[in-house]
A and B are shown apart, each in its own frame.
Chain A
Amino acid sequence: MAQQQHRTITGRIRYTSKKPEILDQERGRETFVYTRHSDGKLTLRAHCEIDEPNPTVMRDIVHSLDANDRATDCFVRLTVGDEFMGAGLFVMGDGFIECESYGPSIGRVSQRTNIEGGYDIFGTHPIQADAYSTRVMDVSKGPHKRKLRCFLPSGDHRGATPPLLAEGHISLEYLGEETVTVTAGEFKCRKFRFSDEDAGFVSKDGAHPTYDVWVTADEDAIFVQGGVGGYMQTWYELVELQR
Chain B
Amino acid sequence: MEHETVRGRLLYTSKKPEIMDKVRGGETFVITKHIDESRTLRAHCAIDENSPRVLRDSITSVDANWHPTDGFVRLTVDEKFIGSSWYRFTPKYVECEGYTEQEGRISSRIETKEQARLFITHPIQSDAFLTQAYDLSKGPGEQLIQGLVACSFHHRGADGPTLLHRPNDEGFYLRFVGPEKVKVVAGEFDALHFQIGRSTDDAYQGREVHPPYHVWVTADGDYVMLKAHVTGYMQTYYELTEYEKRKNFF
Contact = CB atoms under 8 A, between A and B. Distances in A.
Interface stretch (B69-77, B120-128, B235-243): B69-77
Given A43-B57, A62-B57, A4 B46 contact: yes
Nearest to B99: A91
B48 interface: yes
A114 to B, nearest CB: 15
B111 to A, nearest CB: 16
Interface string A55-79: 0101010101000000011010101
Given A45-B44, A89-B84, A4 B51 contact: no
A1 B48 contact: yes
B57 A89 contact: no
A41 B81 contact: yes
Nearest to A5: B79
Interface residues of B, number: 44
Contacts, number: 111
A2 B1 contact: no
B84 A60 contact: no
Given A4-B79, A82-B3, A100 B97 contact: yes
Contacts of B61: 77, 84, 87
A39 B80 contact: yes
B218 interface: no
Given A39-B80, A75-B59, A1 B86 contact: no
A43 B44 CA distance: 11
Contact of A58 (B1, B97, B98): B1
A187 to B, nearest CB: 24
Interface string B223-250: 0000000000000000000000000011
Given A2-B50, A89-B72, A73 B84 contact: yes
B79 A77 contact: no
B29 to A, nearest CB: 11
B72 A87 contact: yes
Given A37-B76, A82-B2, A84-B38, A100 B86 contact: yes
Nearest to B22: A1
Contacts of A110: 97
A43 B38 CA distance: 27
Interface string A166-185: 00000000000000000000
Interface in B19-58: 19, 22, 24, 28, 30, 32, 34-36, 38, 40, 42, 44, 46, 48-51, 53, 55, 57
A10 to B, nearest CB: 9
A89 B98 contact: yes
A41 B76 CA distance: 11
A62 B105 contact: no
Given A1-B49, A47-B42, A62-B59, A87 B79 contact: no
Interface of A: 1-6, 29, 31, 33, 35, 37-39, 41, 43, 45, 47, 49, 51, 56, 58, 60, 62, 64, 72-73, 75, 77, 79, 82-84, 87-89, 91, 98, 100, 102, 108, 110
Interface of B: 1-3, 19, 22, 24, 28, 30, 32, 34-36, 38, 40, 42, 44, 46, 48-51, 53, 55, 57, 59, 61, 69-70, 72, 74, 76, 79-81, 84-86, 88, 97-99, 105, 249-250
Given A62-B57, A82-B3, 18 more contacts: A1-B24, A2-B48, A4-B79, A6-B55, A31-B30, A37-B81, A38-B79, A39-B79, A41-B81, A43-B76, A47-B42, A49-B1, A73-B74, A75-B59, A82-B35, A87-B61, A88-B86, A108-B88
For the complex of A and B, 9 pairs with smallest distance between CB atoms: A89-B86, A100-B97, A75-B72, A73-B84, A87-B70, A38-B79, A56-B1, A91-B99, A62-B57
